[in-house]
Amino acid sequence: MKKITIALIPILFVSCSWYGTHGRIYQNNRVSGKVILMFHNRISNGFEDHHNMLVGEVLDNLEEKNLLNIEYLDRQYNALTFKRSPYFAEYKQVAAGYLFVTAYSPNFSDVDLKMELYDSNFNLVLTAHHNTFWGNSYFFPPYIARTIKDAARGAVKAFDRKLIKLNH
Amino acid sequence: MKGLYVFLMLLGCNLALAQVDFENRIRSKVDCEDISYTALSLIPEFYYKNQKDSIIHFIRYWEEKCGESHFSKEIRVLYEIDREVFDEKEIDLQFFQHLLDQVDYIDYMVFLDSNSQVVNILSGAEKSEYYQISEFHLFTSLWAQEILDKHDFTACSDKRDILLAYAGRVDEFFESVGNNACETILNGFYISEVSRLKSLGEGEFGVLTGIWKPFNNAAALGVHPSLGFYFGHQKGKVLFDITMLMRFVKSPSSYTVVYEDSLISTRHFFGGYIGLDVGYELLRTPSTRVYLLGGIGYDGFEALESDPDVDDEPSRSIGSLNLNTGLGGKWFLNDSMGYLGLELRYNFVNYNNPGGTDFTGNALSVRLLVGILGNYTKQTGLRSLRHE
């Protein structure tokens, strides 16, 4: 009986720490609360239409997978700058997690897109990445509108796969 | 007849409506260029008459009619900081970009102010626009400076950094946002942008010349000059290059090779190396980079000259795997991507010449390089952030 008690104590601690880091995001294969989505991109180079297109594509793809309860915050932050912004204190009470999408164009037409999911304690849960330079092939150099679409689809697909794996 | 009257009345009404519609359209059209142009003189006027509330009303009207512009945002932010109603939630990546644009404007104004010959070639309208924008910048910088003097901002404050940029104190602005001890929002964007730019890879291309000196038994081949080219890519501290080079000049003494069971004596030598060279960056200053070098490739030489026009002309090549290691440095010229380089490599080779002269022994090579290494986006980006 004593041995069982000794074995149960570390299991209890491990499960509590797992719940603390991940449990607030996933419950019953579903997201249990709001995940705040933010973008930090350098592909628009001042052209608003590309930023809006990127936001639209990522939101559409995430909605299609229907895994996260997304609330989009229309401000451009990455993890570091969000934590320093006044929004952090505001969202800390309500957010189950934070999803940061950073994107930039490594050349004239490709898009390198990275998604980082943090839990409510701001621990990095997973990252998914898609670079159209390596991940897609085009017969002719593509327009950036097309690579934005491909990068969003590729990154959300990888994100979805990792999220499912993490959940099981 | 009645029908004709009705038709004419309807036609008349339509024409009248069309006329009113056109007029409305013409009257309601707002020329944003005119508003912006007026703003450049009207806002300073409001300021000097101490009518600061009129400034914000005008900005609201301007932004409502024409959307937010760089100048309208600048004035609005100055007004809000002055009135202590500025919300730091406004500081995001786009705002950081707005401040970098402000720095670009200031740099451009300073350039024009100190290069009157450039201003002289501007057209009349351009010149008048330049003078007006220049005066507007002078006004905003004075206002920003006044707010800085009036309020006691702490050294690590986003508002202070914004005002430094608007006041044209560019070096102090970058010093402040680049100070990692200040964990401000703008400092976060600065760190992120610097680290993004630093992570970008760099392309390399160049030509090389040098000498190749074999040792031990291979010394019989003699010292040879080399000439070649290389191209590659550096990511982080690791540099990869594909190198191709030729070695020429006859050997100083004869050596023997076996060709179709006959031992032939020759001084002919035409060699080369093709391989993958790798460098690990040990030291970097703005003008110098030092690398630990390694390489793997094919090394060989033609011992008997082949002649494609003569069928039975003897031809014989001797080759070996080349593994090399060494040290190298690159010295960049005038902050450009162009450099001069020097490399010293020890080459482990094993030329196999069965029946002929024994060529066991390794070789030392010295390469002089002239090339370019860099990434334009990375270099100009880091320079614009005043980051060395």
In the predicted model, what is the mean pLDDT of chain A?
Answer: 81
Across the interface, whether the CB atoms of A85 and B91 are under 8 A apart is answered: yes
Residues in chain A: 168
Determine the residue of chain A that is closest to B98 in CA distance: A46
The pLDDT of residue B5: 54
* pLDDT-derived band at B185, boundaries 50, 70, 90: very high
The pLDDT of residue B63: 87
Q: Phi, psi at residue B15, to the nearest 5°?
A: -60, -45
How far apart CA B11 and CA A159 sit, in angstroms, is 63
Name every chain B residue with its beta carbon within 8 A of the beta carbon of A84. Answer: 183-185, 187-188
Name every chain B residue with its beta carbon within 8 A of the beta carbon of A80. Answer: 188, 191-192
Total Cβ atoms within 10 A of residue B67: 9
> Which residue type is seen at A164?
I
- Note the Cα B23 to chain centre separation in Å: 52
B303: nearest Cα among B260, B270, B349, B273: B270
Q: Is B88 on the interface with A (CB under 8 A)?
A: yes
Domain of A51, in residue numbers: 2-167
How far apart CA B249 and CA A115 sit, in angstroms, is 58
Pick from B87, B97, B192: CB nearest A81: B192
Provide the 3-class DSSP secondary structure of residue A127. Answer: strand
Pick from A81, A83, A106: CB nearest B189: A81
| Residue B278 predicted with pLDDT over 80 | yes
The crossing angle, in degrees rounded to 10, of helices B170-177 and B185-198 is 90
* pLDDT-derived band at B229, boundaries 50, 70, 90: very high
Burial bucket for residue B279 (CB in 10 Å: 0-12, 13-18, 19+): buried
pLDDT in tens, B47-79: 888 888 888 888 888 888 888 888 899 999 999
Three-class secondary structure assignment of B151-187: CCCCCCCHHHHHHHHHCCCHHHHHHHHCCCCCCCHHH
Contact status, residue B294 vs residue B335, Cβ threshold 8 Å: no
C-alpha pair distances (Å), B250 with each of A142, B117, B267, B319, B359: 52, 59, 6, 17, 16
How far apart CA B180 and CA B198 sit, in angstroms, is 17
Least confident span in A10-19, B20-29, B207-216: A10-19
What predicted TM-score, i.e. pTM, was given to this entire model? 0.77
The pLDDT of residue A8: 60
C-alpha pair distances (Å), B111 with each of B115, B117, B159, B211: 6, 11, 27, 47
Prediction ipTM score: 0.77
> Which residue type is seen at A35?
V
| Residue B163: CA count within 13 A, CB half-sphere | 26
How far apart CA B371 and CA B339 sit, in angstroms, is 6
Token output for B156 = 């690590």
User: Choosing among A77, A81, A133, which should be mutated to test the B contact, i.e. which has the most B CBs within 10 A?
Assistant: A81
Across the interface, whether the CB atoms of A80 and B87 are under 8 A apart is answered: no
Provide the 3-class DSSP secondary structure of residue B275. Answer: strand
CA angle B63, B65, B67 (to 5 degrees): 45
Cα Rg, chain B, nearest whole Å: 36
| Residue B371 predicted with pLDDT over 90 | yes
DSSP state, residue B385 = T
Contact status, residue A32 vs residue A26, Cβ threshold 8 Å: yes
Token output for B192 = 């992120």
Q: Is B93 on the interface with A (CB under 8 A)?
A: yes
- For residue A116, the domain's CATH number is 3.40.50
pLDDT (mean) for B228-240: 95
Q: How far is B181 from chain A (nearest CA, A)?
A: 13
* pLDDT-derived band at A145, boundaries 50, 70, 90: confident
Q: Is B180 on the interface with A (CB under 8 A)?
A: no
| Residue B206 predicted with pLDDT over 50 | yes
pLDDT in tens, B75-96: 999 999 999 999 999 999 999 9
Determine the residue of chain B that is closest to A108 in CA distance: B377
Three-class secondary structure assignment of B276-332: EEEEEEEEECCCEEEEEEEEEEEEEEEEECCCCCCCCCCCEEEEEEEEEEEEEEEEE
pLDDT in tens, A85-102: 999 999 988 899 999 999
CA angle B189, B195, B197 (to 5 degrees): 100
DSSP state, residue A163 = H
Tell me the β-bridge partners of B329.
Answer: B290, B342
Counted domains in chain A: 1
| Residue B290 predicted with pLDDT over 60 | yes
* pLDDT-derived band at A135, boundaries 50, 70, 90: confident
Across the interface, whether the CB atoms of A46 and B97 are under 8 A apart is answered: yes
How far apart CA A108 and CA A114 sit, in angstroms, is 18
B322: nearest Cα among B353, B357, B282, B364: B364
Q: Is A46 on the interface with B (CB under 8 A)?
A: yes
Determine the residue of chain A that is closest to B188 in CA distance: A81
Determine the residue of chain A that is closest to B376 in CA distance: A107
Contact status, residue B220 vs residue B251, Cβ threshold 8 Å: yes
Provide the 3-class DSSP secondary structure of residue B69. Answer: coil
The pLDDT of residue B28: 55
Residue contacts between A and B (CB atoms, under 8 Å): 40
Quickly list DSSP for A33-88.
Answer: SEEEEEEEESSSTT-HHHHHHHHHHHHHHHHHHT-SEEEEEEEE--HHHHHHSHHH
Question: pLDDT over 90 for what percent of chain B?
Answer: 49
Residue B226's H or E segment, with its range, is strand B224-235
Q: Is A76 on the interface with B (CB under 8 A)?
A: yes
